[in-house]
């Protein structure tokens, strides 16, 4: 069962997905994400794969009868996709050649655009978990895309802050933060003509 539960203290919806505890541990000598498994094409560069144990679904189940008028629940509508970086079982993202990474970025963009067409989807999150310590059951290098029916509180707060800062200062908040970091220099991890990555103040 997967559902959304209302947190009255944070005023946010929390995803509860008890169905994901039933995910199997894969045999050491077989991987569903490798060509020849029967689960993915025999040849691919990058590949979208619908999650077998999704926390969000286009046809969500009815929530468990554990809620109340105070502790509200609702269906966990959305979509969970797995993005396979490569057919090579041990090659991580940082080890892929640049033209291959470009194919991966193009797939992320393609899936983002497609998932955005659903009017019920309010936020799309692309991410990677790695290692058994965080619950990853598949060692084959991959990331995920979650399409949420509710915008997470942290994201909503950040957008509200950007709007308020602009209204008060007639200046973009992100641009101001970037300017501060460029002037300070010491928190910058990487900078090029397209990106600026830094540790938060």
Q: Catalytic annotation on 142?
A: yes
Under a CB-based contact definition with an 8 Å cutoff, are residues 201 and 192 in contact?
A: no
* Residue 25 DSSP symbol: P
- At a CB cut-off of 8 Å and minimum separation 6, what does 42 contact? 35, 36
Three-state SS at 35: coil
- CA distances (Å), origin 18, targets 4, 27, 88, 144, 146: 11, 23, 31, 19, 17
89, 100, 140, 142: the active-site residue: 142
| Active-site residue set | 142
């Amino acid at each position: 069962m997967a559902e959304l539960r209302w947190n009255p203290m944070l005023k946010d919806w929390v995803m509860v997905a008890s169905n994901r505890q039933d995910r199997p541990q894969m045999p050491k000598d077989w991987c569903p994400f490798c060509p020849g498994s029967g689960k993915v094409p025999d040849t691919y560069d990058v590949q979208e794969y619908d999650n077998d144990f999704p926390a969000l679904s286009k046809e969500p189940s009815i929530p468990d009868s554990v809620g109340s008028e105070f502790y509200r629940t609702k269906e966990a509508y959305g979509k969970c996709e797995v993005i396979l970086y490569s057919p090579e079982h041990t090659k991580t993202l940082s080890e892929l050649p640049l033209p291959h990474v470009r194919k991966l970025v193009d797939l992320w963009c393609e899936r983002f655009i497609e998932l955005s067409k659903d009017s019920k989807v309010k936020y799309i999150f692309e991410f990677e978990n790695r290692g058994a310590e965080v619950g990853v059951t598949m060692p084959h290098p991959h990331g995920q895309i979650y399409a949420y029916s509710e915008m997470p509180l942290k994201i909503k707060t950040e957008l509200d802050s950007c709007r308020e800062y602009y209204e008060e200062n007639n200046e973009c908040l992100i641009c101001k933060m970037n300017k501060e970091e460029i002037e300070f220099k010491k928190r910058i991890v990487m900078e090029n003509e397209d990106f600026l990555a830094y540790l938060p103040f």
